[in-house]
Structure 1
């Protein structure tokens, strides 16, 4: 049901649970978040997370004094979530990035759409687009999610990201149909490495080193289902 980087909006009871477990210095920030109606972000689950719970988090804007972000990690009941969406589509975040990135990102989004690929964004760019607060800094990356449904889409998407990364600070993950995600740069490098190279795959419940072929097989499963 849930995936890392999903956006969730909480019920009143959900917010009460968040506040009850949050550190005191975070409460004023969380109250601002709640009043503004901004979403929380789904994060990787802890080992003891119950089947009836989902792990979520909040990242406040970087502090001017040191650039650090106050982060609040918590868990709520599934019934505390009143709405959920996948990560923000890239097209919805173009106005939130610095002017010098917009033309290149818009071109990437158009080329991806032309190839039947949808790109989503998470991290600082997504948070700035969602909240209007200042998250993106000169050293920020643009964290993208690529969700291919075939090997051809995967290879096209990786080629597009690599080409545009020459002019943009692109980072992010490829998300496979079973929910496991791999840093796109790591996956692309693995294709050029010796046979048997493994990549770090992150799922909602666990992290493991796997062979790229295992992940690509999930794309073949989708093809046969269609």
Structure 2
């Protein structure tokens, strides 16, 4: 049901639970977040997380004095979630990026859409778009999610991201149909490496080193590769 980087909006009871478990010094920031109607972000499940729970997190804007971020990790009951969406589509975040990135990122989004590829965004760019707060710094990356359904989409998406990475600070993950995700740069490098190279695959409940071929079999045409 849930995936890493999903956005969730909490019920009143959910907010009460989050607030009760938060450090005293973080509660005013959480109250402001709640009152603004902003979502939490689904993160990787913790050890011993109950089947009735989901792990979520909040990342507050960087502090002006030192750039540090207040990050809060918590868990809530599934019944505490009143709405869920997947990660923010890239097209919904274009106005949130610095002007010097905007045209190039819009071209990437248009080319991806033209190829039938939907890109989503997470991290600082998504949070700035969702909250209007100042998250994006000159050193920030643009964290993208590519969700291919076929090998052709996967390879086209990797080529597209690599081409645009020459002019944009692109980072992010390829998310396979079974929910496992791999850094797109790592996956692309693995395809160019010796057979047997493994990549770090992150799922909601665990992290493991796997061969790219194992991930490709989850795609629509993956079973036809051998």
TM-score, normalisation: structure 2: 0.98
Structure 1 partner of 2:114: 114
Matched, 1:213 2:198: no
Preserved CA contact (<8 Å) 1:44 1:205:
yes
Local SS of the residue matching 2:219:
helix
**For 1:194 and 1:23, how far apart are their aligned partners in 2?**
48
**For 1:136 and 1:220, how far apart are their aligned partners in 2?**
36
Preserved CA contact (<8 Å) 2:120 2:146:
yes
Local SS of the residue matching 1:161:
helix
Q: What is the total number of aligned residue pairs between the two structures?
A: 224
**For 1:102 and 1:136, how far apart are their aligned partners in 2?**
13
Cα deviation code 1:51-89 (max 9, x no counterpart)? 000000000000011101000000000000000000000
Preserved CA contact (<8 Å) 2:151 2:222:
no
**For 2:9 and 2:20, how far apart are their aligned partners in 1?**
17
**For 1:164 and 1:130, how far apart are their aligned partners in 2?**
24
Structure 2 partner of 1:169: 169
Q: Displacement of 1:215 after TM fit?
A: 0.2
Matched, 1:2 2:24: no
Preserved CA contact (<8 Å) 1:177 1:222:
no
Structure 1 partner of 2:47: 47
**For 2:196 and 2:134, how far apart are their aligned partners in 1?**
43
Structure 2 partner of 1:155: 155
Cα deviation code 1:16-68 (max 9, x no counterpart)? 00001101111010000000000000000011100000000000000011101
Local SS of the residue matching 1:120:
strand
Preserved CA contact (<8 Å) 2:151 2:221:
no
Note the residue ranges of structure 1 that are not aligned, 5 or more in a row: none
Question: What is the RMSD computed on CA atoms of the aligned residues?
Answer: 1.1
Preserved CA contact (<8 Å) 1:61 1:70:
yes
**For 1:107 and 1:173, how far apart are their aligned partners in 2?**
19
**For 1:223 and 1:123, how far apart are their aligned partners in 2?**
33
**For 1:60 and 1:115, how far apart are their aligned partners in 2?**
35
Note the residue ranges of structure 2 that are not aligned, 5 or more in a row: none
Ranges of 4+ aligned residues in structure 1 off by more than 2 Å: 220-224
Q: How does 1:165-204 map to 2 (within 5 A)?
A: 165-204=165-204
Local SS of the residue matching 2:220:
helix
Q: Displacement of 1:220 after TM fit?
A: 3.3
